[in-house]
Amino acid sequence: MSLAESRPQTARASADDQPWWKGATIYQIYPRSFMDSNGDGIGDLRGIAMRLDHVASLGVDAIWVSPFFASPMKDFGYDVADYCDVDPIFGNLADFDALVARAHGLGLRVLIDQVYSHTSDEHPWFAESRQDKHNARSDWYVWADAKPDGSPPSNWQSVFGGPAWTWDARRGQYYLHNFLSSQPQLNLHNRQVQDAVLGVMRFWLERGVDGFRIDALNFAMHDPQLRDNPPAPATDRPRTRPFDFQIKKYNQSHPDIPRFIERIRALTDSFGATFTVAEVGGDEAEAEMKSFTHGDTHLHSAYGFNFLYADRLTPQLVCGALAQWPDEPGTGWPSWAFENHDAPRAASRWWNEEDRSAGARMKTTLLVALRGNVILYQGEELGLEQVEIPFEQLHDPEAIANWPLTLSRDGARTPMPWIMEAHDHGFGSHSAWLPIGEANALRAVDAQEADSQSLLHHTRAMLALRNSRPALRYGAVTACKADGDLLILDREASVDRVRVVANFGRETIELNEQQGAGEVLAAINGATSGMLPPFGALVLAR
């Protein structure tokens, strides 16, 4: 049996007429920080396979593995030097095949990251492209002549700071990079480039991959006329980079991107039960997410940044996000993440130390109640906090470039604590690439396994509840009401009706008879049918 043929054939909680991915819970794994199998301080593919029992025990449907491809690691794998090989620090293709087989054996689907907007400057495609203006790949990247005064072709700015153009003396031209200068922009307007990246996708599908998370998809195409971006209007939000001073009208979000997406969908559909989800950020994220997921010829889902960078979690934020995705024909299916490898840990963003335990329990309950897919970031089931990383230990290029104004992404990428009392906390190395953090070490998996009241056990219980209730897994939102700190969320699928009532604040809320009516499926933080203590929540069958 091939790896592709070994894919899990059923979803544990979907109705027969629902695809496996609709309402699925996806567990994101950041390979460098999950488990180190060889003691070099960096997690790897074998380490992931070693700890997959833990992931499967949560009740999730799939894993999403962040980049493990060959790379100089200037942006930790999001600068790809070879799309079809594993970087030696993570193992090799045989290790990846073994990981896929192990995951499928546990009933888990496997999603991997794909970065199609740019490559590393060490990719052979770029090495050829930069040689001259007439080679076979001369138009595979975005090259442009200088203005008459020698300045860059446009005013576009890089996400990581400074102009989005770098001069290359070999070509006598500038090349575009929306991120690091070592991440040159692919020219996806070129059909040959599209064919090449679709060939990459086919390579991994044939190895048994069940789907893809597509990074920075709205950066995939630029304005060929290279028109200047207009200035952004005044705002109260701090501006820490030149990128923040512009409306990103021309360096991203080109209207031809959905046509390329149609080619992606046609390929993945030819492999059967696969799944595609796009990362979409920026000022026009909602419109682009809908465009990228419209109908049956585009991506299955998209997730933006509604919650990832929010300073506060409020009922109004929740209802506003859900309202963007009504249960209507042609409207795509959202995915929701409260945490990931780029965003500060939610527990540290949303609550002080005193409230974090209760807040995390309420947050988990809310996450499994949202209409859409759930993306759970590694360690979120443990309530891991953002770790303060001193400047001399930073690896994150954005944080280093913008120190101290940009919060380091490294603080959310710290290693998983598996064994509280072990010297290496079970990660597999005494000198991990980042410190685990004292507070996070106390939240280790083994300590929470031994505590029936832990967040880990609560997470399992909430995912089991979601998987058992069609209304929670894929049902419509029939009502979402925000009243101060009180959220009332109603979900419905056929005859299954579920209400979630939650208190987002630090003051007790009294519920009237109608608000708290129904069979109590779960009571969080001391909640009752008549009262919600601080961060209390109820899940009710109606």
User: What residues are annotated to the active site?
Assistant: 215, 279
Burial class (CB in 10 A: 0-12, 13-18, 19+), 92: middle
Those residues with Cβ within 8 angstroms of residue 166's Cβ, 6 or more apart along the chain or in another chain: 174, 175, 177, 181
Q: What is each CA distance from 523 to 25, 57, 457, 511, 528, in whole angstroms?
A: 21, 22, 14, 14, 7
Among candidate residues 4, 3, 2, the one with its CA nearest the CA of residue 271: 4
Residue type, 360: A
Check: CB of residue 389 under 8 Å from CB of residue 411: yes
Check: CB of residue 432 under 8 Å from CB of residue 425: no
Burial class (CB in 10 A: 0-12, 13-18, 19+), 101: middle
The H or E element spanning position 293 is helix 285-293
Check: CB of residue 451 under 8 Å from CB of residue 457: yes
Peptide bond before residue 404 is cis, with ω within 30 degrees of 0: yes
Cα gap 245→250, rounded to integer Å: 14
Q: Which tokens in the block code for residue 38?
A: 């060889």
Cα gap 479→3, rounded to integer Å: 43
Check: CB of residue 250 under 8 Å from CB of residue 229: yes
The H or E element spanning position 379 is none
Cα gap 272→248, rounded to integer Å: 36
Q: Which tokens in the block code for residue 78?
A: 């999001």
333-337 and 173-176 as β-strands: parallel, antiparallel, unpaired? Answer: unpaired
For 70-132, give the DSSP string.
Answer: E---TTTTSS-SEEEEE-TTT--HHHHHHHHHHHHHTT-EEEEEEE-SB--TTSHHHHHHTT-
- What are the two backbone dihedrals, phi and then psi, of residue 447, each rounded to the nearest 5 degrees? -65, -40
The H or E element spanning position 327 is none
Cα gap 380→28, rounded to integer Å: 10
Those residues with Cβ within 8 angstroms of residue 514's Cβ, 6 or more apart along the chain or in another chain: none
SS3 call for 200 = helix
Among candidate residues 288, 197, 302, the one with its CA nearest the CA of residue 248: 288
Those residues with Cβ within 8 angstroms of residue 331's Cβ, 6 or more apart along the chain or in another chain: 290, 294, 325
Length of the chain: 542
